[in-house]
Amino acid sequence: MYKIVFMRHGESTWNLENRFTGWTDVDLTEKGVAEAKAAGKVLKDEGYTFDLAYTSVLKRAIRTLWLTLDEMDMMYLPIKHDWRLNERHYGALQGLDKAETAAKYGDAQVLVWRRSYDTPPEPLAEDDERTSYNDPRYAGLPKSSIPLTECLKDTVARVMPAWDEEIAPAIRAGKKIIISAHGNSLRALIKMLDGISDSDIVGLNIPNGQPLVYELDADLKPIRHYYLGDPAAIAAAQAAVANQGKAK
Ligand SMILES: O=C(O)[C@H](O)COP(=O)(O)O
């Protein structure tokens, strides 16, 4: 049996401001820092150790990983940064207030943009200053790989090669792994691992900064999964994420 730990980054400044974030590279809030340290403490207290960590190229996930590993006294751990673990690209919604957008377009439309499997938000225009075309961290990528918007299906299409080519072979080689990533890149991964239907994935929300353990069989099929930490607090945090896209 293998075990892997997934974790969404701690609260970011745009989580606090309730803005669609996507590929925007915002940092953690003080609460987010505290969540990342608390995640490290619970992992340490529960006796977890790792051989390897994966994260995105966005600082909210990277800093969460650093703080978690610092708390575990494991800052020596090799870290692989992979752009394919980035948050789902939120297209032209990036930067907008989620509740204001719901007030303007309706809760149902915002739920489609946030949680439908195959309906992406409007894309950024090619010449929009918010595109990632000139960002040095994506310099090695063909322009066609740099999204202007994504639905979850698009995110699955980039996350799964990272899983199949990098992460799954490392698990099979016996490496104990932690992945610090994002709400929707983790939803994409979990959808594929657990075989969640396109309609049921709408109801899956990942709270900030809570270690989520997956136990996998020899074929890397999930046996069971559970969050470490207080179940009531985690359920409340998941409900809060679900409610972010509703008009106030
Ligand atoms: O990109 C974002 O805005 C968040 O990290 C995830 O947002 P969501 O829960 O609205 O999809």
- Please write the tens of the pLDDT for every residue from 89-106: 999 999 999 999 999 999
pLDDT at 229: 86
What average pLDDT does the segment 9-27 reach? 98
Q: How far apart are CA 222 and CA 79, in angstroms?
A: 24
CA neighbor of 183 nearest in space, from 24, 8, 11: 8
Joined tokens for residue 2: 């293998």
- Please write the tens of the pLDDT for every residue from 148-206: 999 999 999 999 999 999 999 999 999 999 999 999 999 999 999 999 999 999 999 99
Residue 45 has pLDDT above 90, yes or no: yes
- Please write the tens of the pLDDT for every residue from 24-44: 999 999 999 999 999 999 999
Residue 248 has pLDDT above 90, yes or no: no
Q: 114: Cβ below 6 Å to ligand 1?
A: yes
Residue 59 has pLDDT above 90, yes or no: yes
- Please write the tens of the pLDDT for every residue from 200-238: 999 999 999 999 999 999 999 999 999 998 899 899 999
Cα–Cα distances in angstroms (integers) from residue 183 to residues 68, 78, 126, 177, 208, in the given order: 17, 23, 26, 18, 8
What average pLDDT does the segment 111-134 reach? 96
Is position 182 annotated as part of the catalytic site?
A: no
- Report the mean per-residue pLDDT for the chain: 97
C-alpha of residue 115 to centroid of ligand 1, in Å: 10
C-alpha of residue 137 to centroid of ligand 1, in Å: 21
Joined tokens for residue 242: 């679900």
**Which atom of ligand 1 lies closest to the CA of 24?**
1
C-alpha of residue 183 to centroid of ligand 1, in Å: 6
Beta bridge partners of 8: 181
Domains, the chain, in order of start with CATH, read 2-217 (3.40.50.1240)
What average pLDDT does the segment 50-76 reach? 98
21 annotated to a ligand binding site = yes
- CB 198 within 8 Å of CB 118: yes
Catalytic residue among 35, 71, 87, 150: 87
Q: Is 123 exposed, middle or buried (0-12, 13-18, 19+ CB in 10 A)?
A: middle
Q: 241: Cβ below 6 Å to ligand 1?
A: yes
81 annotated to a ligand binding site = no
The region, left, alpha or beta by phi > 0 then psi within -120 to 50, assigned to residue 168 is alpha
Q: Which residue lies with its CA nearest to atom 6 of ligand 1?
A: 183
**Other beta carbons within 10 Å of 97:** 16
Complex confidence, ipTM: 0.97
Residue 68 has pLDDT above 90, yes or no: yes
pLDDT at 212: 98
pLDDT band at 72 (very low <50, low <70, confident <90, very high): very high
What average pLDDT does the segment 75-94 reach? 98
